[in-house]
Amino acid sequence: MNELTLEQEFQAKIDADLKIEPKDWMPDAYRKTLIRQISQHAHSEIVGMLPEGNWISRAPSLRRKVALLAKVQDEGGHGLYLYSATETLGIDREELIEDLHSGKAKYSSIFNYPSLNWADIGAIGWLVDGAAIMNQVALCRTSYGPYARAMVRICKEESFHQRQGYEILLSLCRGTEVQKRMAQDAINRWWWPSLMMFGPPDTDSPNSEQSMKWRIKRQSNDELRQRFIDMTVPQADFLGLVVPDPQLKWNEERGHYDFGPIDWEEFRNVLKGNGQCNRQRMKDRIKAHEEGAWVREAAMAYAEKRSRRQEQVSSVA
Ligand code: BYC
C-alpha cells in the first residue's frame, strides 16, 4: 500500500473515532506530536511533585500529611503511566528524561511558581489540579489508545486531588481572619498561572489545528480555559474568595464569564526558563534522578536475575 492510501485509511479511522494502537501504521508527524505531548505531560507530573513535596514535612496535621503524601505519590504514578505510554511509540524513557534535564523538553509552566505557604497547597489542588482535570477529561477520548487509557486512570485520581485542595481552602476560609487572608493571597498568585496551563491562545497555538484534526486534542486551548473559568468562579464565590481579575464578569449573552487579558509575555518568559523556580526545579530533579540511580540499577539486576532463572527453568522443563 502506498503512503497516501495508508494516510487516508489512518485519517478515516480517526474520523470514525477508532483508537490508534502502537502497532498500527501512523504518520511520522503523528508519532512525533504524541511523543512531544505525552512526554511533556509525564515530565509535568514528575516536576509537579516538587512544589508540593516541600510541604509534606510541614503539613499542619497528620491527616493533611497523609493526604498530601498520597497525592504526591499518585503524581509519581501518573508520570510512570505516561512514560510507559510514550515508550509504546518507540522511544526510550532514558532519552526522554535526558531531554528534560538538558532543558530540551518542556514541562508545564505552572510548576515554575513557588509554593510559599500551606494555603498554596490548597490553591494547587483546587486550581492546578482543577485545570489539569479540565484538560485531561478531554484527553480520555484522545485518538491514541495507550494515552487515552492512561488518562482514564489519571483523571479518577486527579478528582480526589482537586477536592483535597478545595477542602484545605474551605478550612482556611472558615478559620481566622489571618487564615482567610492566606487563602486569598494564594489565589491571587495562582489564578493567572493556572489559566496559562491551557497553553497559548488558539490564534497563537502552532500545534492545535493539526492535533485537533488527528483528535489528539478534542478541544482547543481557549475552549478549555473558558470552561475552567466558568466552573471555578462559582467555587471561589462559595469560598468567599475574590478572583483577582477586575474585568471578570458574567456575560448573559455568551453564557460565559468574560475575563481580563492574560500576560502572555510572562508565559513566554517562563517557557524560556526564566520563571521564578525553573533553575531550582531542574536542579532538584537532576539531584533526585542521580540519587535514585542505585534503585534503578538494583531493579534492573533483579529483573535480569529473574529472567535468567526463568530461562533455566524452561530449559530444564
Ligand atoms: N507549559 O501549540 P500549543 C499536571 C507549549 S498538569 C509549558 O498550544 P499543544 C499536574 C507547547 O508544548 C500539566 N509549555 O501546544 C497537575 C508547545 O511547545 P512546542 C500537564 C506549554 O501541545 C497537578 C508550545 O507551547 N498537562 O501534570 O497543542 C499536579 C505551543 O503550544 C504550555 C499536560 O501536559 C504550558 N502550560 O497544547 C501534578 C496535558 N502550554 O513543543 C501534575 C497534555 C503550551 O511546540 N498536554 N506549551 O515547542 C496538552 O494538552 C497540550 O500539550 C497543551 C498545549 C494544551 C498543554
pLDDT at 243: 98
**How does residue 67 score in pLDDT terms, banded at 50, 70 and 90?**
very high
How many other C-beta atoms lie within 10 A of the C-beta of residue 75?
A: 24
> Is 113 in contact with 190 (CB distance < 8 Å)?
yes
DSSP 110: G
DSSP 205: -
Place of cell 505531560: 41
Give the residue among 114, 84, 83, 111 at the shortest CA–CA distance from 97.
83
pLDDT at 314: 83
Ligand 1, residues 34, 36, 37: which to mutate, most atoms within 8 A of Cβ? 37
What is the reported pTM? Answer: 0.94
How many other C-beta atoms lie within 10 A of the C-beta of residue 185?
A: 16
- Cα gap 148→154, rounded to integer Å: 10
Percent of the chain with pLDDT over 90: 93
Residue 251 has pLDDT above 90, yes or no: yes
Is residue 37 within 6 Å of ligand 1 at its C-beta?
A: yes
| Mean pLDDT, the chain, whole residue set | 96
Is residue 132 within 6 Å of ligand 1 at its C-beta?
A: yes
- Cα gap 234→211, rounded to integer Å: 31
pLDDT in tens, 23-62: 999 999 999 999 999 999 999 999 999 999 989 999 999 9
Percent of the chain with pLDDT over 70: 99
Give the residue among 166, 52, 71 at the shortest CA–CA distance from 118.
52
pLDDT in tens, 263-278: 999 999 999 999 999 9
Give the residue among 123, 51, 39, 41 at the shortest CA–CA distance from 280.
51
